[in-house]
Amino acid sequence: MRKILFLMIVALMALAAPVGAADQITYTSQPDEIYIFLNNIAFARDTITLPGGVDARVALPLTIFDNTLTVREDGQRVPAYRLRRVDGQLLLQWTTGAAAREITLEYLLSGLSWTPRYDMILNGDPAETVDFNFYAEVQNTALELDAVQTHLIAGRVDASQPVDSLSRVTENQYLAGYDEAAPTGGEVGAATIQYIYEPGVLTGAPGETLYQQMLQAVLPARRVLLWNAQADRQVTAIYKVRNQADLPLAEGIVRSYRDGIFIGSDFVEITPVGSEGSITVGSLQDVRVNRSESQTAIEGGSYDYEYRVKLELTNFGQKPVTIEVVDYQRPEAEKLVFSQEPTRETGNVLRWLVTVEAGQTVTIQYTFETF
């Protein structure tokens, strides 16, 4: 509506007097379409029809990356235009062609970002399904959003390593020589795009945070009890949630609830449709674990030291529990002997699957020698 009204005003002015080369039109850019990345960068497109033969002045958002601006008239790049910052404004200025035409402005800007927000309700203990909600949180400190078609990109633009234009020239170009170049402001780097979400049309003022539900679903889940013996003093409860929705889950923080009570937050990795995401929901309170390691010098042997490792799990609960126990073999370890043979995995990982009955203790021991 704002652009139709603007053109009506221009038409009335045209009826009052003929349009000459000195006529001037000032317009404030407000995007029709915007693509928002996760890390405070967005790509905006603004389209409007202007009369021909006028001095066009467009006030652009102050947070744009100046050298990313493109200006087109009826799909063709405008051959000459200028940018200047004056009186707290960033002004784009050029003279339009002879006839009325569609103007398209495209630019990157900062001040717009979005964050995936998830919450998960466990249905039972252990839960076989979870109620899963996904909201997009859009932070806007840049500009007025007036019914803007919005796309949310699960990805980031690399702004930490500005592209140096001189670093891309060939050896022969260097040999041919260059005049001294003035320092550049730097370009934003590569963008990663994992998925584009479509929340539709959004409206919001600068300083507002917008929330838009992207997913509400009941998803299947299975609980994995894991003890990382070298790092943890407790058994961790991890839910593997299978994404049976029709869109992938971007990486983000999941808040978990059981029986109407908040029980913690954890990071979930990128979870494509059909795959499982891992979400830690706390520790197993009824099971105590302990890892101990001793060292003994070897006299007159082929090796210098013998190590003994003991992994103990005690179940104080009323039900048996099955736990994945993970430890790490030292790279220099030789002559390993296990009381219970583990599964060996890449990265020197040792893994056991043990069931601890109620009121019982399970002990895993192994020895190894080193120089």
Instruction: Supply the pLDDT for residue 284.
Output: 92
CATH of 2-31+45-110, one of 1.10.3470, 2.60.40, 1.10.8, 1.20.1260: 2.60.40
For the sheet containing 287-297, what is the strand order?
287-297, 305-315, 361-370, 334-338
Any idea where the domains of the chain sit in the sequence?
2-31+45-110, 287-370
Instruction: Supply the pLDDT for residue 332.
Output: 93
* Helix, coil or strand: residue 172: helix
Instruction: Supply the pLDDT for residue 99.
Output: 83
Instruction: Supply the pLDDT for residue 299.
Output: 86
Nearest alpha-carbon partner for 214 in 180, 244, 249, 185:
249
Instruction: State residue 138 phi and psi, 5-degree precision.
Output: -105, 120
Nearest alpha-carbon partner for 357 in 322, 325, 326, 324:
322
Pairing relation of β-strands 252-258 and 112-124? parallel
- Mean pLDDT for each consecutive 10-residue tract of the chain (371 residues)? 42 40 80 95 94 90 92 93 90 87 94 97 95 97 94 88 49 53 54 93 95 97 96 96 96 95 94 96 94 92 92 96 97 95 96 97 97 91
Instruction: Supply the pLDDT for residue 53.
Output: 86
- Asked if residue 48 lies in contact with residue 54, where contact means CB atoms within 8 angstroms, the answer is no
183-187 — which CB contacts under 8 Å span 24+ positions? 185/66, 185/67, 186/162, 187/65, 187/67, 187/68, 187/162, 187/163
Say whether 287-370 and 2-31+45-110 share the same fold. Answer: yes
b/e sequence 117-155, b meaning 16+ C-beta within 10 Å: bbbbbbeeeebebbebbbbbebbbebbebbebebbbbbb
pTM score = 0.79
Instruction: State residue 40 phi and psi, 5-degree precision.
Output: 70, 30
What's the CA gap between 260 and 329, in Å, rounded?
42
* Helix, coil or strand: residue 5: helix
Tokens of 144: 């007025």
What's the CA gap between 281 and 265, in Å, rounded?
7
* Fold topology of 287-370: Immunoglobulin-like (2.60.40)
Tokens of 282: 């706390």
Torsion angle defined by CA atoms of residues 186, 187, 189 and 191, in that order, rounded to the nearest 10 degrees: 160
- What letter does residue 332 receive in the DSSP assignment? T
Instruction: Supply the pLDDT for residue 6.
Output: 45
Instruction: Supply the pLDDT for residue 97.
Output: 82
Residue 200's alpha-carbon distances to 94, 156, 265, in angstroms, are 33, 20, 29
Provide the β-strand partners of residue 187: 163
b/e sequence 307-328, b meaning 16+ C-beta within 10 Å: bebebebebeeeeebebbbbbe
